[in-house]
Amino acid sequence: MNEAETRAELIDPALKEAGWGVVPDSRIRREYQITWAACRCCG
């Protein structure tokens, strides 16, 4: 099983069951790139 199959068969159904992408104003992004400036470490 590759990453795309894992997402399609396991992750996406779990997200949908939890209400992601179903509840108004919620959405699921396939890919979301972050930058180092967006990463903030604490601790």
Measuring CA to CA, how many Å separate 6 from each of 9, 10, 23, 28? 5, 6, 23, 16
Q: Residue 43: its pLDDT value, please?
A: 57
Query: Tens of pLDDT along 7-35?
Result: 899 999 998 898 888 888 877 777 777 77
The whole-angstrom distance between residue 39's C-alpha and the CA centroid of its chain comes to: 17
Residue 11: closest CA among 3, 22, 39, 34:
3
Q: Model pTM? A: 0.56
Contact 19, 26 (CB under 8 A): yes
